[in-house]
Amino acid sequence: MWLTKKILVATDFAEASRAASEVGVELARMFHVPLVLMHAYHVPMQVYTGVPVVPVAGYVRAYEDAAREALENERIRLAAAGVDVNAVLRSGVAWEEILATAKQLDVGLIVTGTHGRHGLPRALLGSVGEKVVRLSPVPVLTIHGGGASRATVGGDKRDAAPSDEARSPAS
């Protein structure tokens, strides 16, 4: 049962991710479970088809250092709420790394923000949240960034967007 396992919050540091982090902290506090804050970064290796980018070691290192610093700052912010928060930084395709981390750490729930893209932007950019929801063996709670920062789990404030999704493996 997910209520007794870690909660994985995937973040890209955008507004939707902040909202998801807040909900994750609230759930972790409510169920007395640790929170894992996870970020996956991807250093582009190809700009145009057939034109490989040769990553300069300094550039890749700077990219990773910036991601690590942002992740640590967010971990500190969330831990200030009195929850046990561990940070995980992974390099690779975001949805693949989220699912791999969830499996590796045996989490019971994944919480992720969604940007709410539709149409052509979604087709071109893809949806990390959608892939995680479709392929995750554990329940996934998605939080839309629009008004989700006002969402709460157990209080009198329930302003989460009606399109928020929760999926369990049985559905």
Cα–Cα distance, 169 to 140 (Å, whole number): 9
Return the higher-pLDDT residue of 110 and 43: 110
Task: Indicate the pLDDT class of residue 115, thresholds 50, 70 and 90.
Answer: confident
* Domain count along the chain: 1
Q: Report the pLDDT value the prediction gives residue 129, as an integer from 0 to 100.
A: 87
Q: Report the pLDDT value the prediction gives residue 57, as an integer from 0 to 100.
A: 77
25 closest CA partner among 17, 35, 15: 35
For residue range 49-103, list pLDDT tens digits in order: 777 666 677 888 998 999 999 999 999 999 999 999 999 999 999 999 999 999 9
Q: Is the pLDDT of residue 153 over 80?
A: no
List b or e across 64-83, with b for residues whose CB sees 16 or more CB atoms inside 10 angstroms. Answer: eeebeebbeebbeebbeeeb
Q: Is the pLDDT of residue 167 over 50?
A: no
β-partners of residue 89 are: 39
Mean pLDDT over each residue of the chain, to the nearest integer? 82
141 closest CA partner among 90, 98, 103, 97: 98
Return the higher-pLDDT residue of 136 and 48: 136
Cα–Cα distance, 121 to 53 (Å, whole number): 25
Q: Which residue range(s) make up the domain with 25?
A: 2-167
Least confident of 31-40, 55-64, 134-143: 55-64
Amino acid type, 4: T
Return the higher-pLDDT residue of 4 and 78: 78
In the numeric block, which tokens belong to residue 103?
């499996």
Task: Indicate the pLDDT class of residue 127, thresholds 50, 70 and 90.
Answer: confident
Cα–Cα distance, 111 to 53 (Å, whole number): 33
Q: Report the pLDDT value the prediction gives residue 10, as an integer from 0 to 100.
A: 97
Q: Report the pLDDT value the prediction gives residue 44, as an integer from 0 to 100.
A: 72
Task: Indicate the pLDDT class of residue 162, thresholds 50, 70 and 90.
Answer: very low
CATH number at residue 103: 3.40.50.620
- Long-range CB pairs of 163-166 (<8 Å, 24+ gap) are 163/116, 165/133, 165/140, 165/141, 166/139, 166/140, 166/141, 166/142
